[in-house]
Amino acid sequence: MDNQKEGSLRLLTSGEIRLAKSIFGDSIHYHKVWIHHGSYLPYQKTMQFFPWN
């Protein structure tokens, strides 16, 4: 899945659905969930570090 283009969308894989169902059960409509490949905020770096103090 590392070959996805920035900004692309995809549905959950069957493995992701199995994992989510083990936690959330049937409370989510998994066929309606989309995964966005990219930053949430503009200019967001891929790795960020935050000091504890």
Domain boundaries of the chain, sorted by first residue = 10-39
pTM (2 d.p.): 0.63
The encoded tokens of residue 45 equal: 């770096």
pLDDT of 1-53, one tens digit each? 557 787 789 999 999 999 999 999 999 999 999 998 877 666 666 656 666 65
Q: Which of 15, 8, 3, 9 is nearest to 32 (CA)?
A: 9
